[in-house]
Each structure stands twice: as C-alpha cells, then as structure tokens.
C-alpha cells in the first residue's frame, strides 16, 4: 500500500505544459465522416485529429466551450494527445482516442479536467479504451484521467458513458483535489454509467465531498499493463472523505475490489454486486457477489463509435 502512495498524491503537481504542442482550433484536423455545416456537427459527423509519430499534442477547452465529435488518432508510434479543460460550463462529448497513448512520461494523463468554484463540467460519451503503450515488461507511466488539483478543481464534474481501459497510473484519478486543499475540500466528481477496466493503481479513485460512482461497471480481466510501482489494479478507491457506490457491478479478484482506508476515506456501497475483497472502511447495504460485467449499452466501444455520438 505504501509504495503506491509515492506515485500519486505526493506527485500531483508534476504535470508540465512545456512538453506539449498546442493544438489550435482545426489547424491540424482533417474532416472525415461527413461535412460540417455552420460550425456544428450532427451525431454522424466527426473530425479526425491525427497526431504524428513521436509527437504530443495538447487540446484546451475553456469557459463555456464544447469540444465534441472528434476522433483523435494517436495510433502512430510514440504519438499521444491530451485534453486539458478548466473553467465553468465546458463540455467534452463524443470524443474517441484511437490507438494507445504512446508517451513514456510520469505525470502524463490523456485528460486533465477541472471546474471552477460554483461551475459545472461534463465529460460524456468518451472512448479511452485502447490504453497505453508498454515496454517489454508491460510497464507504462501515463494515466487516463487526472482531475486537476493545481487549477484547482472546486466545482461539479460529471463523467457519463465513458470507456477507460488499460492505463498505468490510474484510470479515473480524481482524489487529488482533496489532497490539495486538505481533507474535506474540492469539488464533487460524479461517475455515471461508465466502464473502467484493467487500469493499474485504481480503476476509479475519488476523494472529494459529494463524489460517487453509480450505474457503472468496473472490472479486471487479463490485461498485463501496470505501473512500475504495480501491479495493484484496485476497483474503486476512496480517499479523504466518504464517497458512495450505487447500483454498480464490480469484479476485481486479485486486488481490492473496493478500498476505503486512506486518510479518512470511507466507501458506502449499496444496491450493487461486488466480486472480490474489500479493505479499509467500507460499508455495504443490499450488496451481492454476482456482478454482470458487460460494457453498458450506453458506453462507446470504439473511438469511431464515440466520435459519431453513437
């Protein structure tokens, strides 16, 4: 347990913008699938943003902006993209990452969102299921999502219908704001109808008041990818404050399915099916042990499906 801690809260200030190339508007984006009319796209239309081999591109989303109907092709060797969102009233939806994240850098995340105090942000219908490139030992460094503790995140952030798989430094990593401001601070992170699988350290990790996971599926199957400090593919990990897990299916048998034992963290699990052990401060109500772990119908299963808006 202690060795995992050195790779997370302690280093949540290590993200550096200097390593990224700014992606300005559609300058390097090629339209595919259909035409764009009056700056808007229908559910069947999307743009493709191609990241060249060995390059990293950063996409920023700010106050009131919507980034949608995009396929981000990072399938070239060593290619990687990151979306950073902050402010209030922004949305990221119908976005698919095609190919494995190719960068080898600790502190790199495919998505880095935060919401300002009193505001809301939405990440919906996003595919990050191809994971990250590994070395010969199946090790990697990047994580999928890090909710930004530096900006900081103080508003309400919702993840809905997202597919996050096979990353090394956590899948949905949202406990940082609780550390930045002290236990009990930071804005809520709401995880709804998502699928998270085979992410090392934790598949879903929460640590701010009002945060929860509901109507979601979390599982580990046979993916070998792991962080240099792993493997330790927890299902749901609660830090700092009480969080809730409702109507979820969790199957994690080699590591903790649910862990609520760090720095005051508690997890309340209700009306769920959990296969695997629990650790720390975990309470249960109406919880069985026979989860159904299929990808929910509302969750995209490919980058193209996400970009089209299903």
Instruction: Convert the pLDDT of each residue in 163-194 to its tens digit.
Output: 999 999 999 999 999 986 556 689 999 999 99
d(CA 123, CA 96): 12
pLDDT of 143 reads 96
pLDDT of 47 reads 98
Residue pair 187/154 in contact by the 8 Å Cβ criterion: yes
pLDDT of 301 reads 97
Mean residue pLDDT across the chain: 86
Please return the burial class of 10, using the count of CB atoms within 10 Å of its CB with bins 0-12, 13-18 and 19+.
Answer: exposed
d(CA 91, CA 72): 17
Q: How many domains does the chain have?
A: 1
Structural domain that includes position 98: 2-307
pLDDT of 33 reads 40
pLDDT of 7 reads 38
Low-confidence spans in the chain with pLDDT less than 50 = 1-42
pLDDT of 75 reads 97
The pLDDT > 90 percentage for the chain reads 75
pLDDT of 212 reads 98
């Amino acid at each position: 347990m202690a060795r995992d801690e050195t790779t997370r809260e302690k280093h949540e200030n290590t993200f550096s913008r200097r390593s990224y190339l700014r992606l300005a508007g559609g300058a390097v984006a090629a339209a595919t699938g259909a035409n764009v009319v009056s700056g808007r796209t229908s559910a069947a239309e999307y743009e493709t943003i191609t990241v060249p081999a060995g390059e990293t591109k950063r996409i920023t989303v700010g106050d009131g902006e919507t980034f949608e109907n995009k396929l981000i092709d990072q399938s070239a060797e060593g290619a990687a993209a990151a979306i950073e969102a902050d402010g209030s009233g922004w949305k990221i939806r119908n976005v698919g990452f095609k190919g494995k994240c190719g960068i080898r850098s600790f502190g790199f995340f495919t998505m880095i969102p935060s919401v300002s105090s009193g505001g809301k942000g939405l990440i919906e219908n996003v595919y990050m299921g191809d994971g990250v490139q590994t070395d010969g030992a199946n090790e990697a460094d990047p994580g999928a999502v890090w909710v930004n503790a530096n900006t900081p995140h103080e508003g309400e952030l919702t993840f809905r219908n997202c597919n996050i798989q096979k990353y090394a430094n956590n899948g949905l990593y949202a406990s940082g704001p609780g550390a930045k401001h002290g236990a009990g601070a930071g804005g809520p992170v709401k995880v709804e109808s998502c699928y998270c699988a085979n992410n090392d350290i934790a598949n879903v990790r929460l640590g701010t008041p009002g945060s929860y996971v509901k109507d979601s599926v979390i599982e580990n199957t046979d993916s070998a990818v792991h962080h240099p400090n792993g493997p330790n593919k927890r299902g749901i990990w609660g830090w700092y404050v009480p969080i809730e897990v409702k109507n979820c299916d969790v199957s994690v048998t080699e590591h903790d399915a649910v862990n609520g034992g760090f720095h005051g963290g508690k997890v309340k699990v209700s009306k769920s099916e959990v296969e695997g052990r629990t650790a720390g401060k975990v309470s249960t109500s109406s919880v069985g042990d026979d989860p159904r772990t299929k990808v929910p119908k509302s969750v995209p299963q490919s980058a193209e499906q996400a970009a089209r808006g299903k």
